[in-house]
Structures are given as structure tokens and as C-alpha cells.
């Protein structure tokens, strides 16, 4: 059995979500062979050196809980989201999780999936796509990570505020995937079933691309009282509520 989650946005200020995640890692997830986290595990990741912060153990506790799941024999894979695209090798080494490229083809004996965070498909949001193109550059990231941790945390807080403010003025369609870009994406990836997050609009969509039926599953974001995982049992996908 394989489980998929995304958009938990874990932060010390949201203890309810962390509690649901810790229970999930210690319980439901133990029965899985693989767990895929499709981005935005954290509310904001300022760099792996936040794991050294003795005064704020939150991130380290999450990473150690992932490590326990890995030690129990579950393979954990994680993809970058737009909030935690700076998760790096130190995070991977300490958690035991594999960092996946976006998109990632998951080829199983009975089915083919393509996994993505989903933000790259929101091509109508040109403001966001320019921002994304900038912060995904290796030299930009290197320069950003060279700044002191406190400064990076302050920039992340500021950007979160700016983002929430910008979203209030954005038309709804800007914050969803673009249909044409998604058709191209599905074509490029051999009409595999797409699983993604980011839009916080949980649903299963039927696409018809070049006459071929393709399913697109959108994962839910988590909140203080409820989480969600998608479960593949070898034959079909089903949503499971976590609380
Ligand atoms: O996250 P969500 O779903 O609320 O909104 C996203 C888009 N916003 C973002 C920004 C993040 O929320 C904040 C960054 C998290 C911290 C990262 C860690 C620290 C690294 C800091 C790197 C600078 O991704 C939002 C989309 C929405 O999804 C739907 O798809 O609309 O996009 C925006 O709001 C972006 C604005 O439109 C443009 C913001 C311009 C800011 C320019 C600053 C330039 C960078 C300078 C950095 C030093
Ligand atoms: Mn996202």
C-alpha cells in the first residue's frame, strides 16, 4: 500500500496539524510500504540549518519522527513545494527521506502515476511564476542561504504575508492549474494519472487528452483539526480522513 499527502504547512504556531501528523507517522503510515509527501510539508523552510536551532526544536522533531518511520521499514519520499523548496541534503540525511524531482514518474506493476506539487501548472499566475523562476535558481538559493538564519526567517515571514495579501486580489482561476498546460503535461508524461497538491481544492478530475481518459487527483491541505491521505491499494485510490 502506498500513501500520498501534501500541503501540511507544519509550523510551531499550528500544533494541531503537527499532532495529527505525528499520530499519522506513528499509526496509519506504519502499514504502508511507501509514503510520498508532495510538497509544502512545512509552512516555510528557511534552510536546513534551522535543524541546528536549539531554541526551536519543532523542525527537528518532525524530521526525527520521519526517521522513525523510515527505520520501521517504510520508504519516505518528499518533493519540494513552494513553501519548502529549500529542503536540502541535510534534511534528507537526517530524516532518511528521498528528495524527489518535480515531476516524478511513479511506475508500479499495475499502474503509472505522475506526481507533482502542482504550482508549476498554475501558469496563468504570471506574478507567481516569475517569483518561482527566480527562487528556484541555484545561484539565487546559494546567495539566500548565505544570509543569517534569523534574516531568512524574517524574509520568509514577510513573503508569507505578501503572498496572503496578493492572493486576496487574484481571480480564482489564477490560483488553479491551467487546463492547456495540464493537457500538455499529461501528454508529455504518457497519460499517467496525475496526483498533485498546492491548490487546496481536493477533487478528482477526469481529463480527456487526445481521446484518452486521464485522472487527476488533487490532495487536500491539512488544518488544525483534520488531515488527509490518499491510499493506493494496488487497484484503486481512495481518500482517507485523518484527525
Ligand atoms: O503558498 P500559498 O499557497 O499561500 O501561495 C502560493 C504563492 N505564494 C508563494 C509564496 C510563499 O507563500 C511564501 C514563501 C515561503 C517561504 C519560503 C522559505 C524562505 C525562502 C524565501 C525566498 C524568498 O509561493 C502565490 C500563488 C499561490 O500559491 C497560488 O498558486 O498565487 O504567489 C504569490 O503570492 C506571489 C506573488 O504574486 C508575488 C510575490 C512577489 C514577492 C517578490 C519578492 C521577491 C523575492 C525577494 C526575496 C529576498
Ligand atoms: Mn503549495
Domain count, the chain: 1
Read off the pLDDT of residues 187-220 as tens digits, 9 standing for 90 and up: 999 999 999 999 999 999 999 999 999 999 999 9
> What residues flank ligand 1, with Cβ below 6 Å?
44-46, 82-83, 86, 119, 122, 125, 127-128, 131, 135, 144, 155-156, 159-160, 162-163, 166-167, 170, 175
Confidence of residue 113 (pLDDT cuts 50, 70, 90): very high
The residue segments making up the domain with residue 82 are: 2-242
What value does the mean pLDDT of the chain take? 97
Read off the pLDDT of residues 146-177 as tens digits, 9 standing for 90 and up: 999 999 999 999 999 999 998 999 999 999 99
Predicted local distance difference test score (pLDDT) of residue 34: 98
Residue 210 sits at φ, ψ, to 5 deg, of 55, 35
Instruction: Give percent of the chain with pLDDT exceeding 70.
Output: 100
**Ligand 2 center to 221 CA (angstroms):** 9
Q: Which of 199, 195, 198 is closest to 239 using CA atoms?
A: 195
Q: What is the average pLDDT across 83-102?
A: 98
Predicted local distance difference test score (pLDDT) of residue 94: 98
Predicted local distance difference test score (pLDDT) of residue 63: 98
Best probe residue, ligand 1, of 42, 117, 127, 128 (max atoms within 8 Å of C-beta)? 128
User: Which residues, by Cβ under 5 Å, contact ligand 2, an ion?
Assistant: 40, 81-82, 198
Read off the pLDDT of residues 40-91 as tens digits, 9 standing for 90 and up: 999 999 999 999 998 899 999 999 999 999 999 999 999 999 999 999 999 9
**Cell 491521505 -> residue:** 229
Predicted local distance difference test score (pLDDT) of residue 11: 97
- Asked if residue 167 lies in contact with residue 82, where contact means CB atoms within 8 angstroms, the answer is no
CATH assignment at residue 126: 3.60.21.10
Instruction: Give percent of the chain with pLDDT exceeding 90.
Output: 99
Predicted TM-score (pTM) of the model is 0.97
Amino acid at each position: 500500500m502506498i500513501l500520498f499527502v501534501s500541503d501540511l504547512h507544519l509550523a510551531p504556531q499550528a500544533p494541531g496539524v503537527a499532532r495529527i501528523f505525528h499520530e499519522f507517522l506513528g499509526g496509519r503510515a506504519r502499514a504502508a510500504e511507501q509514503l510520498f509527501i508532495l510538497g509544502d510539508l512545512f509552512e516555510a523552510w528557511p534552510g536546513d540549518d534551522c535543524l541546528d536551532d536549539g531554541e526551536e526544536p519543532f523542525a527537528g522533531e518532525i524530521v526525527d519522527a520521519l526517521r522513525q518511520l523510515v527505520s520501521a521499514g517504510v520508504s519516505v519520499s518528499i518533493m519540494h513545494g513552494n513553501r519548502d523548496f529549500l529542503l536540502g541534503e541535510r534534511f534528507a540525511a537526517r530524516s532518511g527521506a528521498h528528495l524527489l524531482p518535480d515531476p516524478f514518474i511513479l511506475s508500479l506493476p499495475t499502474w503509472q502515476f505522475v506526481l507533482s506539487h502542482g504550482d508549476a501548472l498554475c501558469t496563468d499566475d504570471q506574478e507567481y511564476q516569475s517569483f518561482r523562476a527566480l527562487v528556484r535558481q541555484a545561484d539565487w538559493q546559494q546567495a539566500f542561504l548565505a544570509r543569517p538564519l534569523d534574516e531568512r526567517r524574517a524574509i520568509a515571514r514577510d513573503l508569507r504575508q505578501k503572498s496572503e495579501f496578493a492572493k486576496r486580489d487574484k481571480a480564482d482561476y489564477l490560483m488553479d492549474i491551467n487546463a492547456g498546460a495540464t493537457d500538455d503535461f499529461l501528454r508529455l508524461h504518457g497519460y499517467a494519472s496525475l496526483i498533485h497538491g498546492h491548490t487546496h481544492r481536493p477533487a478528482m478530475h477526469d481529463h480527456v487528452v487526445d481521446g484518452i481518459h486521464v485522472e487527476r487527483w488533487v490532495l487536500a491541505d491539512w488544518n488544525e483539526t483534520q488531515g488527509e491521505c490518499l491510499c493506493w491499494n494496488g487497484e484503486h485510490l481512495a481518500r482517507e480522513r485523518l484527525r
